[in-house]
Structure 1
């Protein structure tokens, strides 16, 4: 849903250099170092997170060095302790950081624990979500037309959020969780995506791969950590990456939209026909809808009534995506180390937003059950999440939206490192990372 670095780099270089192959690193454990063996995270104290020290005093546990030989399976490491995870919650802005999921748990085990009713499609609830989105979007347009200039940002925020509801409806259609009639789903999904200038079929093909390969380093089609080789490849590209994954990260989905969905070479031969139909629909909407808006309201009206809400939609598109799968303690893994249940249950984040956002966006941020099974309709996600809390609650990552959470993601979660998961740009290139330093100074630290 958001921009992968290899594609983002094409905006500036026109080519992509394949990253180096996987290397094996020996796990190290020294004072102020914690080894979370089950998910591969090596967290070296809190030194690389010093800008995120909360207002409350945090006691850093200093672990005693251990022999090179692995400890017995029944001997918990300091990182496995509830106290340690609570410290990470405080630092990162989480409500709960889940215990590592045992290796013997499969995605089918988790899926089978859900009640059957959460998979049931309810036509009334599905079309009610359409009514909510259409009504809230129409209300937003009225607000834009009536609001004085100083209230326009509020009107744009509402309308952009309502725009996001259209995306969620198309999202359900793509996952075959909107209607039992697949033709209806294709039509509704295409129409819901048109105002967003999103081609439905190209997005569906790429998004399916995101679900199949969630948090897999090279295969996931959503946001990846930055590759160090790419970061070091060019000063111009490095500066673009720092801005893109720093202050402009909440609009990076625009780059993903542009690069992933309009290039026929990115799709399999059996997908191209459907991709062309979607592209034709989008271009027809642009050719008819945009001139009509400009004819009725002028170019400034096009900016007021379409462009600004569209940017608001991309703010949520980018923000939701990075919060769902990005945190210092959540690893991205190579395919041979990847575990589906760990990635979908233990590597996905549930985040609560203000209720009006949840309503307009149809609970898309109740995201863990959606990754357990994309066939769960959006209106059943809350019931599914309650079931997961009852059966798998200690493994869940949960947060309520807060500034510290966003600050962590935007100032820490940058370059991939197999031992630490992420290294911040300012650690690798402090003299060029003024945008990150600026974010640390101006972003609030409230949790």
Structure 2
């Protein structure tokens, strides 16, 4: 990926995160070191003076070795059971609510169906990481079906998301929800600042991001000639854009057949709820922790430190509906672990990570505690310094006049 300046290559990222031969295997001596580190971190877990930007005293290989072998196994049967569950619920919700056609039920349908659309996105996301099955062709087939249904260009997004994982925590090279520098922030007009910083406007950003990316970067997830992609990926991106257009044609035909109001109620409002879930969840996994999260440049960045800058979240009742997407730290370090093994893998490494693991605040059935978290972050996390190899979000002294 020489065309993407300064970024770690995808082959390198794959070797770092997914290839057992690329990291050291645990020996008896390592076991002793792991135990010592675990004890030390456990004692320091509540240490308020802990500096998250320090270099961790453990390696990526040691983290990998602490994860049970079972967690790396992918089951086609189990993966398809989640597809079957989600598709069945989506169809049942649509059929029952359309049949009853009660304005009392429609708002409940929109929330429930939008939530299920987001669950479907997560399954397509697993396909993009190769954690759905051991077959690349099957992963791409299922991923195209799941993502096209909710208007996501599968390969276009898969490739940019892969870039995000390979460069997470890097100020310039990260791809999604990366921080703007102060210089870029100052160039934004009134509406651009509102779109990035105002609640709930920012929760509708995903479709815009697909078309234009984020401030400071150019390109489109639909254009195979975009800076997002290498020339070798041209056919894949074109295929996904064609699938997206096909879904657009299906929706257009449905609107013509059943009327815009019906399709608004059945599909488009749930789609918007899905977008709100997507933006909120992905934002919260990289922002809004009580202690500032470090971002890196230059020699201070590496794959491990970038992964440890992510945040796990508890979504209460929605954890299982959303396929445990809140277990984000281990997922970022090892994206080929299937979602149904992430909780076990996280439990296995928490004591090793110690203070480098940000324990999520526990939620009740409904994660209402995250609303003030995201609002506070929007009001305080505006930009990072133009220079410096370890930087933290700063607040705009003007606090964005759109508030």
For this structure pair, what is the TM-score category when the shorter chain's length is used for normalisation? 0.7 to 0.9
- Within the candidate set 249, 268, 288, 2:230 is matched to 268
- Cα deviation, residue 222, structure 1: 0.7
Match in the other structure for 1:315? 276
Rounded to whole Å, the distance in 1 between the matches of 2:77 and 2:45 is: 46
Q: Deviations over 1:245-293 (max 9, x none)?
A: 2221212222212223112222211000111111111111211x11332
- Within the candidate set 23, 46, 70, 1:117 is matched to 70
Structure 2 residue 306 is matched with structure 1 residue 343: yes
Match in the other structure for 2:333? 372
Distance 1:239 1:386, change over 3 A: same
- Between structure 1 and structure 2, the one with the greater Rg is 1
- Within the candidate set 361, 383, 388, 1:415 is matched to 383
Q: Deviations over 1:45-78 (max 9, x none)?
A: xxxxxxxxxxxxxxxxxxxxxxxxxxxxxxxxxx
Distance 1:103 1:210, change over 3 A: same
- 5+ residue gaps, structure 2, are 1-43, 213-219, 362-366
Contact 1:203–1:261, Cα closer than 8 Å, also in 2 = yes
- Within the candidate set 127, 135, 139, 1:185 is matched to 139
Contact 1:199–1:279, Cα closer than 8 Å, also in 2 = yes
Q: Deviations over 1:378-431 (max 9, x none)?
A: 111111111122432432112234133222222111111357612223x1x24x
Q: Give the TM-score taking structure 2 as reference length.
A: 0.78
Rounded to whole Å, the distance in 2 between the matches of 1:332 and 1:238 is: 26
Q: What's the secondary structure of 1:394's corresponding residue?
A: helix
Contact 1:325–1:348, Cα closer than 8 Å, also in 2 = yes
Distance 1:249 1:371, change over 3 A: same
Q: What's the secondary structure of 1:370's corresponding residue?
A: helix
- 5+ residue gaps, structure 1, are 1-79, 86-96, 436-447
- How do residues 149-228 of structure 1 correspond to structure 2 at under 5 angstroms? 149-228=103-182
Give the length in aligned residue pairs: 337
Match in the other structure for 2:37? none
Q: Deviations over 1:181-201 (max 9, x none)?
A: 221111101001111111111
- Within the candidate set 251, 256, 265, 2:204 is matched to 251
Distance 1:243 1:174, change over 3 A: closer
- Cα deviation, residue 144, structure 1: 4.0
Structure 2 residue 338 is matched with structure 1 residue 386: no
Q: Give the TM-score taking structure 1 as reference length.
A: 0.70
Contact 2:222–2:241, Cα closer than 8 Å, also in 1 = yes
Contact 2:195–2:205, Cα closer than 8 Å, also in 1 = no
Contact 1:232–1:238, Cα closer than 8 Å, also in 2 = no
Q: Deviations over 1:148-202 (max 9, x none)?
A: 3244232111101100111111111111111122211111010011111111111
Moved over 6 A (4+): none
